Amino acid sequence: GAGVSQSPSNKVTEKGKDVELRCDPISGHTALYWYRQSLGQGLEFLIYFQGNSAPDKSGLPSDRFSAERTGGSVSTLTIQRTQQEDSAVYLCASTPDRVYGYTFGSGTRLTVV
Amino acid sequence: QKEVEQNSGPLSVPEGAIASLNCTYSDRGSQSFFWYRQYSGKSPELIMSIYSNGDKEDGRFTAQLNKASQYVSLLIRDSQPSDSATYLCAAANSGYSTLTFGKGTMLLVSP
């Protein structure tokens, strides 16, 4: 596609429910990243994919968070048993290879009520 | 812990002035640095990258890097109200795989 596509753009969920966030990177981009941004905070790294493998998932805040990437393309970030502190904008980015300046998607705003 | 520090601002400048945004980083192994602009409610967009000591110019933007001082800056000449945004500084880690972002400096350009 022309850009990084994320869905849904907004998600409101009840505390304790599971949510799935989707990222469709730019075609041909091998590296894919998930970050989150809380109100007034910087971008917090979550996980990095190179192809379908995740060499760095050190930023996942707890075992409630998991992510996968299939076919070297689409990635899904899953948050189980959501908590209010999970409320944030979840941003996905991709690059052709490693780091040459990310292209970000428009993000998913997650609100846990 | 690898950190990127920025003054949160806001930095207020009049239209037509030079805006100077600064950033320091802790990881001496970082080799690549990036400036992103983020409008309120939008995602960050890349505006400059710099890899070598010295200056790099692109239109009204100049990025400066001093690896000895672990210091990166962004100058915006002839600032416009449309430049009002939060500017994020980012450093690539030693393995070139991920970026560490600062919390950003808010820039306000008044007409």
- Using the 8-state DSSP alphabet, how is residue A84 labeled? G
**Residue B98 forms contact with A (CB below 8 Å):** yes
- Averaged pLDDT, A17-40: 94
User: CB distance B32–A99 less than 8 Å?
Assistant: yes
Q: Which of A30, A32, A102 to mutate to test the interface with B (most CBs of B within 10 A)?
A: A102
Residues 6 or more apart in contact with residue B95 via CB below 8 angstroms: none
Nearest chain A Cα distance for residue B32, angstroms: 8
Contacts of A41 in chain B (CB under 8 A): 103
- Averaged pLDDT, B61-65: 97
Could you tell me the two tokens for B89?
């500084």
Could you tell me the two tokens for B99?
């970026």
> Does residue A1 surpass a pLDDT of 70?
no
> Does residue A30 surpass a pLDDT of 80?
yes
Select from B32, B92, B103 the Cβ nearest to the Cβ of A41: B103
> Does residue B60 surpass a pLDDT of 70?
yes
Phi/psi at A86 (5° precision): -80, -10
Length of chain B measured in residues = 111
Digit-coded pLDDT (tens) for B95-105: 767 899 999 99
pLDDT at position B26: 93
Digit-coded pLDDT (tens) for A91-103: 999 998 766 788 9
User: CB distance A48–B97 less than 8 Å?
Assistant: yes
> Does residue B85 surpass a pLDDT of 80?
yes
N-terminal to C-terminal alpha carbon distance within chain B: 40
In this prediction, residue A15 has a pLDDT band, given cuts at 50, 70 and 90, of very high
Phi/psi at B48 (5° precision): -150, 150
Nearest chain A Cα distance for residue B96, angstroms: 6
d(CA B79, CA B63): 15
Percent of chain B with pLDDT over 70: 98
pLDDT at position B96: 64
d(CA B18, CA B20): 6
pLDDT at position B2: 77
Three-state SS across B22-48?
A: EEEECCCCCCCEEEEEECCCCCCEEEE
CB of A88 within 8 A of CB of A19? Answer: no
Q: How distant, in Å, are the alpha carbons of A24, A29, A45, A91, B111 from that of A20?
A: 13, 22, 18, 13, 43
Q: What amino acid is encoded at A5 in this protein?
A: S
d(CA B98, CA B94): 9
pLDDT at position A39: 82
